[in-house]
Amino acid sequence: MPISGYSSQAKANASESFVSSDGSSWTDITTQYPNTDVCIKAFTNPQATTPKQAPAITWNNPTAMTYGTKLSDTQLDATASVAGKFVYTPAAGTVLSVGTQTLTATFTPTDSTNYSTVSKSVSITVNKATPTITWNNPMAITYGTKLSRTQLDATASVSGTFIYTPAAGTVLSADTQTLTVTFTPTDSTNYSTVSKSVSITINKATSRLTWNNPTAITYGTKLSNVQLNIYTSVPGTFIYTPALGTVLGKGTQTVTTTFTPTDSTNYSTVSKSVSITVNKATPTITWNNPADTISGTPLSNVQLNPYASVPGTFIYTPAAGTVLSAGTQTLTATFTPTDSTNYSTVSKSVTTNVVTPMQKIDQMITFVQGITTSGDLDEGSYYELTSILKAAEKSLDRIESDPMGNKLAVTVELNAFIDQVNEYINSGILPSTKGHILIDSANDIINVLSNQVR
């Protein structure tokens, strides 16, 4: 419908003309005045409004942090120029991944009529975390021991893998050595690879010496490889005390070796001792069966003539000066060494055949026959010598009728025999060695008869 004072020529279709009383809410006029074609645009004169102000937010990029650190007031420390409250994204308590991350603070002022809600973002760097490696210095080990889990037992605060240098199975030289482990975390995005080293003492190994107590030896035996036969599992040199070639005294003795290994860096010098029994030695007695002894002959150094391999004294049974009966007799010598500590007392026996003067002359005749048969004496000389011996035998047969006279006759005849033998020796008819055997036998008979005459 027309309004007085305004043009009536205006026409408006539905939804083409609107009216508002405040400039904010508008109404289609045709809904109010359906029968009008007039479009009236009219404004009231409302009171003017003041725009809201944006609060000032102060928030600098926080200092870099390490992965695993939860967001807290240290990072979420924005301030505003007016009262209100902050809401952070991500929220406090959040653990950020490694890298450059964005933090956003949305500020809602208490006076929301005059101040608008505002947001601000900052950047924060999140560094990789360093895993914690727990690994103490291992206990000392001995050279030759292979590295194993006993020594390579590091643990980490997160999951991952360990690489050891030197590796398991390595044998380290004796000294203070360094073991290193490199840990690679499974979460390599947020954790860095880290290494740690520890020290381990490698003690020198003690060489194993194998040496049993040697078999007993006899005094006088020099120490040799038979007794000094130690061996070990590593190369080196042995020094023996007493030394090779030493003669030990009787008794239980101690022999010591000091072993110095060639590899003195990894093996220590070691000593070992064994016991060896040294028995007394038995002296060697040399004593041959004496020649036949003429009955009535006192025992003397002619029969009692042994000698020993070491100094000492002999005691004879029967004693020197004893006159033995006819027949086969036993002579015994008991030897006591001067060094009774190392040598034992020993005895030896021999036999001697005690014959009568007549038997002795028969032996001499037989001997002359033998050297004649062998060609050492001619027939004529043989008869000359045997005739003298047979004359002496006749005188012996008559001793009982005239002991004194016939013993002297035998002596005269035997002296004539000795002179004849000497003549044959000097003229080369009879070898000297065999001739003197005859002379010695004749003298033995003369000496026996001479003692009997006295």
User: In three state form, how does the secondary structure of 18-31 look?
Assistant: EECCCCCCCEEHHH
Asked whether residue 27 is assigned to any structural domain, the reply reads no
Say what the pLDDT of residue 42 is: 47
Give yes or no for a contact between 259 and 232, defined as CB atoms under 8 angstroms apart.
yes
How many Å apart are CA 327 and CA 293, to the nearest integer? Answer: 9
Give yes or no for a contact between 235 and 174, defined as CB atoms under 8 angstroms apart.
no
Domain containing 86 — which CATH number? 2.60.40
**CA-based angle 195:198:202, to the nearest 5?**
140
Give yes or no for a contact between 211 and 229, defined as CB atoms under 8 angstroms apart.
yes
Q: Catalogue the E-assigned strands of 72-117.
A: 79-80, 84-89, 99-109
Say what the pLDDT of residue 401 is: 75
Say what the pLDDT of residue 10 is: 60
| 109 and 66 both lie in a single domain | yes
Say what the pLDDT of residue 405 is: 83
| 381 and 444 both lie in a single domain | yes
Domain range for 234: 209-279
Q: b or e along 160-170 (b: 16 or more beta carbons within 10 Å of the residue's beta carbon)? A: bebebeeeeee
Say what the pLDDT of residue 45 is: 52
Backbone angles phi, psi at 271, to 5 degrees: -120, 155
Helix-helix angle 432-453:357-373, to 10 degrees: 170
Question: Which of 127, 146, 170 represents a domain boundary (last residue)?
Answer: 127
Say what the pLDDT of residue 36 is: 57
DSSP 342-366: TB--EEEEEEEEEE-HHHHHHHHHH
Say what the pLDDT of residue 451 is: 74
- Integer CA distances (angstroms), 142 to 138, 175, 198, in order: 12, 10, 17
Asked whether residue 1 is assigned to any structural domain, the reply reads no
What averages of pLDDT result for each successive group of 10 residues across the chain (454 residues)?
56 66 65 60 54 95 96 97 97 96 97 95 97 98 97 98 98 97 97 98 95 96 96 94 96 96 95 97 97 90 96 98 94 98 97 93 95 94 95 88 84 95 95 95 90 58
Question: Which of 353, 371, 397 represents a domain boundary (last residue)?
Answer: 353
Going by C-alpha positions, the residue among 232, 220, 221 that lies closest to residue 257 is 232
Asked whether residue 347 is assigned to any structural domain, the reply reads yes
Say what the pLDDT of residue 452 is: 64
Say what the pLDDT of residue 402 is: 79
| 100 and 119 both lie in a single domain | yes
Q: Give the list of residues 6+ apart from residue 142 with CB closer than 8 angstroms, or none.
A: 202, 203, 204, 205, 206
